[in-house]
Amino acid sequence: MADALISTLLEKLASMTYEYVAEEVKLVLNVEKEVKEFARNLKAIRAVLEDAEQEQVKEANVRDWLDNLKEISSDMVDVLDDWNGEILRQVEKQEREGTSAVVAKKKVRFPIVPRCFSCCHVRRVIPLHKIAQEIKDLNERLTVIYKQREMYNFQLIEKAIQKPQTPQTSSFVDESKIFGREEEKGSLVSKLVSDEEGRGLLIIPILGMGGMGKTTLAQQAYNDAAVKAHFQKRIWVCVSDPFDMIKIAKAITSDESISSNELDYVLQLMSRSIEEEKFLLVLDDVWTEDNTQWNQLKVPLMQNSAEGSRILVTTRKERVASMVRSTNFMINLRVLSEPHCLSIFKHMAFRNREADEDGVFGDISREIVKKCKGLPLAAKTLGSLMHDKKTMKEWKDVLNSKIWDWNEVEEEVFQPLLLSYYDLTPVDKCCLLYCGIFPKDYELERDILINLWMAQDYLDSERNKDKGIIGNIVFDNLVARSFFQDFEKDDDSGKILGCKMHDIVHDFVHFLTKKECLITNANQGANSEIEALGGKLRHLTLTYVPDSSYSLPTSCYNFKKLRTLAVFASRACIDARFVLQLKCLRTLNLIGSSAEELPKEIGQLVHLRHLDLSENFYLRKLPDSICNLYNLYTLVIRDCTSLSNLPRNMSKLINLRHLYVMESDLEYLPKGIGRLTSLQTLDECCVFFGHNDEAFKFGDLRSLNNLRGSLRILLMGDMIDVSEVVELQLFDKKQIFNLQIQFDRWPPLATTPEGSLQILNALQPQEDLESLDINGVVAPTWPRWLTDLNMLRFLTLGHCVNWKIVPPLGKLPFLERLKLSEMRLIEKVGGEFLGLEDDQAAFKSSSSIFPKLKDLCFAWMSDWKEWEGVRGWKKEDSKFPTIMPCLFSLTIEWCEELETLPDFLCKIPIQNLTIRRCPKLIPRCTEASGEEWPKISHIPNIIRSESYY
């Protein structure tokens, strides 16, 4: 973590130039020399950090040295933040007042003072002497740290060999100590000895986090009787890191006499050693993601391998598994069941002991095993730990302690995780360790987590790359290395939206951050826990405050350098005294607070970048002073159901990138939000029509050019003035791929059908839009641009109450999912739906209609009577184009007047058909006797139901 912090700090120091600073100010500050010396010392220390990070695990003195280094680095970041914050305040003031000396904030690169500031301006807004003295003091402290590094004799460690060597593995296994994995073993053995995947050389990866049992499963398969009989040759190679090609090739040849280290020669020998023999090769513990290295090894193996040969690769990295596998088959090891973990634990704890001891310690055994959370290595280690403990007190001591308090756990369970940890970049390490602020089993939301990393300045913005992009790369890296699990994915794109951390990973993270990160209940005992950490505490999480009358622990007020305060499942409130003490906060999370309002002093938290007020159901207003938080990146006010308005001066938040307002009961957004040109996320954009000059209007959306991802536009107000409807040019917002347009239905937006259509036409999105949802329109027809969205994949059209025909959606070549609902005037769906104005002529010019459609749903179409086919269509006639050739699922529900289905359904390979609450259609779809049955008889899964569920 120190490396990532120092990397960020060095970047800030490197950007600190003096050409823009007035000569008088340079003389007052006199910091250029101090800053350069500070950076020089940091660079020298950074060179040995890899060694220090590894030594700290076993050397308490080194841990203290690193703690002091991180403290000084954090303090320097705070000082520079003060400088930058004052500059931003002055820039915002000049922009707001429209002075001639306005400086575009994109040019204010921290911590440069713009030319436009006169010397008197700078003296007025920046405490010059204070900053100069603080930098000098920090430099003196860093010099001491710099000299101390020589005491520990740290070594320079190259990145390629920074990790400690993994213990060597072999093919031998004691089956009596293995419990569970029968299903995985059976599946793996079947794939190894079967030719169903093809007869060439197949490569099968086993993926899982450290300690999950990958090597054990490979050993079981390697020694299985059927596997032994099937292969002429079996070879076990422990690969580890680095990926030593010559060493691996020599191991495969099984010839210890090879003295040459010429790669080509050794690979030739390796290839000849397996010539025309059906072999099983196990490559255990592969780390390299270098495809060139992998291919160098794979190609000679493939050239001479006999049919049916197999390579089994174990790895803890998803990218390795993707790189090596040659089939869709992969074993991704999950946690063991609790009974299996209990079996492992008992086998280790009670071996060679009296049988009744299992009964005496049975209940407490189950409680201890819960700490393992399905990790076999943890069950084995804790079982071994308990083997020599004879008294109930000893067992309860283990049960009630933190898992890392025991050396055995640190050395055995955490060692595999340390190997994965050392494989991370400094930024990845920092971001992983910050996940320790969340309680166990907490659902981590991808975007919010990235925003939190950004708030702590962990995301290095090298080459001006967008920090959000860097955050997504970091998140994917941690996923790929099995630090996250239990993924929540987007139904459409498959993108991971959220996840959890395994409890053992969570314990491991806290083991590495136990001096600076604390999670505790906000009860009477919290004070002593917090105070025990002294001034080192940087991140504090309170998991429970029973009611609003229970204030925060008093010890919270003594930690002036606290950077994170997160309160979960709590009704805790903050007061002015709290705010005035903790001015270094970067992140303030008050989810579920019972506060009706926040203290106005919150505007003095000048370092604050992330403020989460989700589920503050009683919060009635935000203080105007919140608009003084010039460094604020993220504001979350989701589910604030009593919050009706935001402060008028929101435009002052010039660094705001993410604003989450969904499910808050806002009457409108303030107009100033239209001036937040850095805004990237606005999960619900409330556009107001009517007589309110303070509200966000239609035209204000034009300036938000950095919006990206998803955008939900909620159109609200009392009356539409046609003059407000301007062309928004959403088609220029190239980073929006998911658009929702919702006309407020309660209270309804007062508009004519023509006015509604004019709004829709003005909201023309970019042509690469992937997902669109239009709901609640009274327009007489669809917007003119709808059928031009040639990249559209997902479309929902709901409550379009005045449409009399459905749009010609068959023209959309990439549409995968389509839902039409609540179109009460539509009585018939026919050729126009397929995009056929003249059935025969259009058919001749088209080869496929709805070529990619997989999921089709009609719902709540109250007057729909007939789904018509195509005139002249015949099942046997090959001249007609294919219709919906990929359709997998068709759902029709609450269409009470519908009686018919189109003839062409009989040729569509539908797998699932659901018909609910369609009283006239269901009898006609009765098996064998129903009039519509011949059209659907080929569908394997049909649900017909008069009830909704």
pLDDT digits 0-9 by tens, 194-229: 876 556 788 999 998 888 889 999 999 999 999 999
Q: Give the SS3 label for residue 812.
A: coil
Nearest to 284, CA basis, from 240, 330, 321:
240
Q: Contact at 8 Å (CB) between 890 and 911?
A: no
Which residues, 6+ apart, have CB-to-CB distance to 414 below 8 Å? Answer: 404, 508, 511
Give the integer Cα–Cα distance in Å for 903 and 601. Answer: 70
What letters, b where the CB count within 10 A reaches 16 and e where it falls short, cover 721-732? eeebbeebebbe
Place 403 in a pLDDT band, splitting at 50, 70 and 90.
confident
Q: Contact at 8 Å (CB) between 90 and 83?
A: no
pLDDT at 823: 94
Give the integer Cα–Cα distance in Å for 110 and 34. Answer: 17
Give the integer Cα–Cα distance in Å for 916 and 894. Answer: 6
What letters, b where the CB count within 10 A reaches 16 and e where it falls short, cover 502-526? bbbbbbbbbbbbebbbbbbbbeeeb
Give the integer Cα–Cα distance in Å for 563 and 16. Answer: 24
Task: Give me the sign of the Cα torsion angle 420, 425, 430, 432.
Answer: negative
The answer, yes or no, to whether residue 271 has pLDDT greater than 50, is yes
Bridge partners, 889 (sequence order)? 855, 912
For the ranges 140-144, 722-726, 814-818, 868-872, the lowest mean pLDDT is seen at 722-726
Q: Which tens digit of pLDDT belongs to each residue from 816-870?
A: 999 999 999 999 999 899 987 654 544 555 578 999 999 999 999 999 999 998 8
For the ranges 12-26, 309-323, 827-841, 913-927, the lowest mean pLDDT is seen at 12-26
Give the integer Cα–Cα distance in Å for 682 and 540. Answer: 28
Q: What rounded mean pLDDT belongs to the chain?
A: 82
Give the integer Cα–Cα distance in Å for 272 and 677. Answer: 65
pTM value is 0.82
Q: Which amino acid is at 739?
A: L
Beta strands in 465-538 (DSSP E): 485-489, 496-500, 517-520
Count of all residues that appear for the chain in the document: 949
Q: Which amino acid is at 283?
A: L
Q: Contact at 8 Å (CB) between 853 and 819?
A: no
Report which of residues 17 and 679 the model is more confident about: 679
> How many Cβ atoms sit within 10 Å of the Cβ of residue 291?
12
Give the integer Cα–Cα distance in Å for 658 and 448. Answer: 9
Q: Which tens digit of pLDDT belongs to each residue from 116-140?
A: 334 344 444 445 567 677 878 888 8
The answer, yes or no, to whether residue 100 has pLDDT greater than 50, is no
Q: Contact at 8 Å (CB) between 444 and 498?
A: yes
**How large is the average pLDDT for residues 532-558?**
71
Give the integer Cα–Cα distance in Å for 243 and 320. Answer: 12
Q: Which amino acid is at 135?
A: I
Q: Which tens digit of pLDDT belongs to each residue from 749-801?
A: 667 888 889 888 888 888 889 999 999 999 999 999 999 999 999 999 999 99
What letters, b where the CB count within 10 A reaches 16 and e where it falls short, cover 119-145? eebbeebbebeebbebbeebbebbeeb
Q: Which amino acid is at 358?
A: D
pLDDT at 900: 94
Q: Contact at 8 Å (CB) between 610 and 588?
A: yes
For the ranges 64-73, 225-234, 281-290, 585-594, the lowest mean pLDDT is seen at 64-73
**How large is the average pLDDT for residues 714-740?**
75
Percent of the chain's residues with pLDDT above 90: 32
Orientation angle between helical segments 503-513 and 426-434, nearest 10 degrees: 110
Which residues, 6+ apart, have CB-to-CB distance to 331 below 8 Å? Answer: 184, 187, 188, 204, 205, 206, 207, 217
Give the integer Cα–Cα distance in Å for 821 and 813. Answer: 22
In the structure encoding, which two tokens stand for residue 657, read together? 């990138």
Pairing of strands 771-775, 794-798: parallel
Q: Which tens digit of pLDDT belongs to each residue from 23-63?
A: 444 444 556 777 778 888 888 777 777 777 677 666 777 77
**How large is the average pLDDT for residues 436-450?**
92
Q: Give the SS3 label for residue 239.
A: strand
Residue 266, judged by CB atoms within 10 A of its CB (0-12, 13-18, 19+), counts as: buried
- Secondary structure letter of residue 362 according to DSSP: H
Give the integer Cα–Cα distance in Å for 822 and 813. Answer: 25
Give the integer Cα–Cα distance in Å for 716 and 742. Answer: 9
**How large is the average pLDDT for residues 235-258?**
87
Nearest to 805, CA basis, from 836, 776, 775:
836
| C-alpha to C-alpha distances, 323 to 15, 317, 318, 482, 831, nearest whole angstrom | 39, 10, 9, 16, 47
Nearest to 828, CA basis, from 861, 856, 798, 857:
861
The answer, yes or no, to whether residue 809 has pLDDT greater than 80, is yes
Q: Give the SS3 label for residue 433.
A: helix
The answer, yes or no, to whether residue 327 has pLDDT greater than 90, is no
Give the integer Cα–Cα distance in Å for 759 and 743. Answer: 10
Percent of the chain's residues with pLDDT above 70: 81
Q: Contact at 8 Å (CB) between 674 and 700?
A: yes
pLDDT at 688: 85
Max alpha carbon distance in the chain (Å)?
Answer: 97
Q: Contact at 8 Å (CB) between 426 and 470?
A: no
The alpha carbon of 619 is separated from its chain's Cα centroid by a whole number of angstroms, namely 29
pLDDT at 474: 94
Place 932 in a pLDDT band, splitting at 50, 70 and 90.
very high
Spatial strand order in the sheet of 587-590: 517-520, 539-542, 564-567, 587-590, 610-612, 634-636, 658-660, 681-682
Nearest to 110, CA basis, from 12, 11, 21, 37:
12
Bridge partners, 686 (sequence order)? 714
Q: Which tens digit of pLDDT belongs to each residue from 346-359?
A: 888 887 766 556 67
795, HSE (Cβ side, Cα atoms, 13 Å): 28
H helix intervals, 126-244 = 128-148, 182-193, 214-222, 225-230
Give the integer Cα–Cα distance in Å for 376 and 210. Answer: 10
Give the integer Cα–Cα distance in Å for 251 and 205. Answer: 20
Residue 658, judged by CB atoms within 10 A of its CB (0-12, 13-18, 19+), counts as: buried
